[in-house]
Amino acid sequence: MIGKDLSLAIRLLNAGELVAIPTETVYGLAANGLDPLSVSKIFAAKNRPYFDPLILHLDSTVHLLELVDEMPHYAERLAEHFWPGPLTMLLPKSQLVPDLVTAGSPLVAVRVPNHPLTLELLKALSFPLAAPSANPFGYISPTRAEHVEAQLGDKISYILDGGPSEIGLESTIVDCSGDEPVVKRLGGITIDALSNCLGFEPKVDIQSHSNPSSPGLLDQHYAPRKPLYLVEDIEAFCQAHSGKSILYLSFGANTCPESVYEMNLSPKGDLIEAASHLFHYMRALDSHSGDCIVAKRLPDNGLGKAINDRLYRAAHK
């Protein structure tokens, strides 16, 4: 059921049930993050492997030190600058955090999401919310309540509707457990923005191979059901696949053959706008009739880097 009933969401979460929540990045599938039984329902509903750890969502940094054992200076600085917002930090976990949440890792992922409804919800609860993106494992992340309903509706007690996610890409994950920050997932906060805050450019260590310790980084992830191809030249692709009905996820001013069904992420070439449309358009094309989706690689700067990362992982291998 979809709705805006905050007190119902609070009741359900207090009772150990699952509630889908809006955030500025994507919708999350939330449960009491300190209760292993509640958390295990997330894995079951998503069909998510237990080796894939979850992010804990907080309303502020007030209770953060109950969840993490230490926090370096640069992490405090990042928190002050980017929270609430699309930044997730990996920090040494305290004993309070169940091993199920971190998949046995000594680090816990934490973030303060920037969505008024979810911040209000978090303030009303006495625990943080564990929440992965609210999609079946491996599929495209949801950026609207209807996306969640379409795929997990029968497995979730309630979907809190906060409108379309403003950013549309998952949070940027930074490992803050060492002397220096290391970016582990590209997302809503760009490397440039991180560099401006830190005063230096952070290391980036994003595995692009199959890595069971962080499935969000698996080569095949965020994927539609139809094969998706990342191409430079749509005309050449169409000529080479002339019998096929092609769906085109485009960007900026461009031309494509008339037979092709096109959805443009941002006709004016704006990467922020493109990010906010990405997952919605990928889903729309996936449900449209056609044989395959062809996507254009975006400029590799700013949010374009994170968008290209998602397109690459969505692409047919």
Residue closer to ligand TXA, measured from CB, 296 or 310: 310
Residue closer to ligand TXA, measured from CB, 23 or 266: 23
Residue closer to Mg ion, measured from CB, 98 or 215: 215
Asked whether the bond before 84 is cis by omega within 30 degrees of 0, the reply is yes
Helix (H), strand (E) at residue 8: helix 6-14
Helix (H), strand (E) at residue 45: helix 36-46
CB of residue 63 vs Mg ion: minimum separation in angstroms? 24
Interacting residues of 124 by C-beta distance below 8 A, sequence separation 6+: 6, 10
Residue closer to ligand TXA, measured from CB, 29 or 256: 29
d(CA 133, CA 147): 11
Q: By CB under 5 A, is residue 151 in contact with Mg ion?
A: no
Which residue's CB comes closest to ligand TXA?
Answer: 216
User: Which residue in the set 38, 102, 114, 133 belongs to the binding site for Mg ion (CB under 5 A)?
Assistant: 133
**Distances 82 to 199, 247, 317 between C-alpha atoms, Å:** 14, 37, 35
CB of residue 59 vs ligand TXA: minimum separation in angstroms? 13
- Phi first, then psi, for residue 81 (nearest 5°) are -80, -40
CB of residue 308 vs ligand TXA: minimum separation in angstroms? 17
Question: What residue ranges bind ligand TXA (CB under 6 A)?
Answer: 23, 25-26, 28, 52-55, 86, 88, 90, 102, 105, 107-109, 113, 131-133, 170-171, 173, 214-216
CB atoms closer than 10 angstroms to residue 300: 10
Binding site for Mg ion (CB under 5 A): 133
